[in-house]
Structure 1
Amino acid sequence: MDVQLRHLRMLVAVVDAGTFTDAAAMLGCSQAAVSRSIAALETTLGTRMLDRSTHHVLLTGPGSRVVAHARRILDEVAFLHRIADDSRTELRVGYAYAAMGKHTRRLQKTWAAAHPGVSLVFVHSNTPTGGLSEGIADVSVIRRPLADDRFETASIGIEYRYAAVDTDNALARRRSLRLADLARYTVAIDYRSGTTSLDLWPPDAQPVSTRGIDGVDEWLTLIAAGQAVGMTAEATANQNPRPGVAYRVVTDAPPIDVRLAWWKDDLPPLLDALVDMARQLYATAPPRAQRHRPPATARASATPGGGAER
């Protein structure tokens, strides 16, 4: 016979209540049911859990160790139930560097008015899938190719690329920059979840050096200290201001196709509503880089982020 959760619950209840009778009253069952469960647990584990020689039951040595683990197991099971309950009242949207930038707050407000029974919660996860693979997000905002057949994606809009430079750098005094301007410096690149790669620069005009980083905080800290420059999506510029860091649009860099992604075999609740609402926000509020609009060749080079078009 395997150890059952009800056996562990009975054991913890007896220890907390002090007697079989009080444990039965706490659990709303008979004393005989409590006794049978404890006996079954002791038989399964092959050792006595409780000393019944006194009016108040006492734990044996093995029982003390078992009850400590039993409490942790029951806590984990309760946590799983809370996750399942939250999945019915929350729609969790993961992201790596920025959620939806300037659209984030408006989306949350619009969503709350349209779907008061399901909260829209943004969660940060610096992973390639924005928390999908890790199970902390139901949907994620993706700004880089997602070549994984387990997921499906839908395009919701585009964002232009912005450079991030130290405010003491001469580049910060310019309204817009080009890729060649950044190539003269060390470029900080998050190879795991960022949107910048060396493929953005021509083979004969690569940056003088690169520095690998992990996450937006390390990226911003390096840039503010003048140890590197960076390039990112407009949403990062909008959502992550930092003293010492200036953001400037990069006019000859291809725009970024912003997508929502989800598990193919586990469609989140109200997915279509979220996709439609996000698309409307991106369509009605063009990127603030519009006055520095990249050339047509750059605009045409935006490619889908992988998965099926929706």
Structure 2
Amino acid sequence: MKLLLVFLMVHTIFIPCFSFDLLGKDHPLTLDYYKSTCPTVFDVIKKEMECIVKEDPRNAAILIRLHFHDCFVQGCDGSVLLDETESLKGEKKASPNINSLKGYKIVDRIKNIIESECPGVVSCADLLTISARDATILVGGPYWDVPVGRKDSKSASYALATTNLPTPEEALISIIAKFYAQGLSVEDMVALIGAHTIGMAQCRNFRSRIYGDFQVTSALNPISETYLSSLKKMCPSNSGEGDTNVTAIDNVTPNLFDNSIYHTLLRGEGLLNSDQAMYTSMFGIQTRRIVSKYAEDPLAFFEQFSKSMVKMGNILNSESFADGEVRRNCRFVNT
């Protein structure tokens, strides 16, 4: 009876309930949207991203994360890039963003170059989507074609940024629900979270994990014990001490986009509670199978990650298509 209840809880949550459009008939994105207006846009972004990732490989994860946080709030409309003003409450200070998101200066840098080539043509939302793809490739990840033609929103949502984005301490069922609210499946979720293979995390986001059930999930493996000991040295148990200290989520190949993160979960060494739950949670019937598949088959992971990134990038803000713009400065609405 208990197993039946678990099965029903996991499978009855698979109901999409999003209020904006996935790539639809009314808002088609195309691969050649800038063919006549800014034909060099992809080359310009690629060239600049090569420099940016060479300067610091961590910038790749920063751009992917920024794109993710944009798309989960109002759709992929550049709203996450807006600075707070007297008349606009931005998303940057929302709890899931304020201590984790960076990369705004990187976007400014790329935008300035594009504006010098094609003034007022390329949206910040498209710039961010293309940059995330190039960032992935530059650290060893897969390629995918990026449909473009998004508009930048004139609004942001602090409230949705606070509620829509998954957190490191969130339960698996709740995270699944948040992905489904965006029209993304469990397969999409497990694949997209695979981007943590190049991610970094602050002590405040994994303290409860390393002082909680880390030893239980890693089965007291001697190597895991050594890893755990090193984590505790840089992340004290007392809240407030070392909160901003960072470490790689994937401690094996932190600067390489591969399937190593899934092997980490199989060993019970996931740094974040939300990640490890995909393999060890009692509710992880479906996610456990997918984690195992991606650990065994890196090509399957790459293929699904590419598909899921396109799918996420196609979450569109209907309002921005009706009343959106191409911002000259990604931080501010045009005046």
Q: For this structure pair, what is the TM-score category when the shorter chain's length is used for normalisation?
A: under 0.3
| Larger RCO (alpha carbons 8 Å, 6+ apart) | 2
State the TM-score, normalizing by the size of structure 2.
0.22
Greater percentage in helix: 2
Task: Decide which structure has the larger Cα Rg and report it.
Answer: 1
